[in-house]
Structure 1
Amino acid sequence: MPFARLASATTPTCHLGLGLAAVGRPGYINLGRDQDLGTDRGVDALRARTHELLDAAYAQGVRYFDVARSYGRSEEFLAGWLKARSDVDDIVVGSKWGYTYTADWTTDAERHEVKDHSLRTYERQRAETAELLGDRLDLYQIHSVTPDSPALTDKELHARLAEAAAEGLTVGFSTSGPAQADAIRAALAVAVDGEPLFRTVQSTYNVLETSAGPALAEAHDAGLTVIVKEGMANGRLAGPHAPDALKAMAADTGLGSDAVALALVLRQPWAGVVLSGAATTAQLASNLHAAVVDLDEDRLDRLAALVEDPHAYWDRRGSLPWH
Structure 2
Amino acid sequence: MPFARLASATTPTCHLGLGLAAVGRPGYINLGRDRDLGADRSVETLRTRTHELLDAAYAQGVRYFDAARSYGRSEEFLAEWLGARPGIDDVVVGSKWGYTYTADWSTDAEQHEVKDHSVPTYRRQRAETAALLGDRLDLYQIHSVTPDSPALTDKELHAGLAEAAAQGVSIGFSTSGPAQADAIRAALAVTVDGEPLFRTVQSTYNALETSAAPALAEAHDAGLTVIVKEGMANGRLAGTYAPDALKAVAEETSYGCDAVALAFVLRRPWAGVVLSGAATPLQLASNLRAAVVDFDEEQLARLATLAEDPHAYWDRRGQLPWH
Deviations 1:63-90 (A, max 9, x none): 0000000000000000000011111000
Mapping for residues 1-323 of structure 1, pairs under 5 Å = 1-323=1-323
Q: Which amino acid aligns with 1:195?
A: E
Q: Secondary structure at the match of 1:142?
A: strand
Shift of 1:17: 0.2
Q: How many residues align?
A: 323
How high is the sequence identity, in percent, across the aligned residues? 85
Deviations 1:118-164 (A, max 9, x none): 00000000000000000000000000000000000000000010011
Q: Which amino acid aligns with 1:200?
A: T
Shift of 1:278: 0.2
Q: TM-score, normalised by structure 2?
A: 1.00
What root-mean-square deviation, in Å, do the aligned CA atoms of Structure 1 and Structure 2 show?
A: 0.4
Shift of 1:295: 1.4
Runs of at least 5 residues in structure 1 that lack an aligned partner in the other structure? none
Q: Distance in 2 between matches of 1:246 and 1:6?
A: 29
Shift of 1:51: 0.3
Q: Distance in 1 between matches of 2:199 and 2:248?
A: 39
Shift of 1:8: 1.0
Deviations 1:188-239 (A, max 9, x none): 0000010000000000000000000000000000000000000010000001
Shift of 1:245: 1.1
Shift of 1:248: 1.2
Q: Which runs of 4+ in 1 moved over 4 A?
A: none
Q: Which amino acid aligns with 2:14?
A: C
Shift of 1:300: 1.0
Residues 253, 295 of structure 2: 8 Å contact kept = no
Q: Which amino acid aligns with 1:141?
A: Q
Q: Distance in 2 between matches of 1:128 and 1:171?
A: 17
Q: Which amino acid aligns with 1:26?
A: P
Q: Distance in 2 between matches of 1:225 and 1:101?
A: 27
Q: Distance in 2 between matches of 1:170 and 1:154?
A: 18
Shift of 1:177: 0.1
Q: Distance in 2 between matches of 1:97 and 1:117?
A: 8
Q: Distance in 1 between matches of 2:76 and 2:167?
A: 23
Q: Distance in 2 between matches of 1:238 and 1:47?
A: 25
Residues 229, 274 of structure 2: 8 Å contact kept = yes
Residues 69, 75 of structure 2: 8 Å contact kept = yes
Shift of 1:244: 1.1
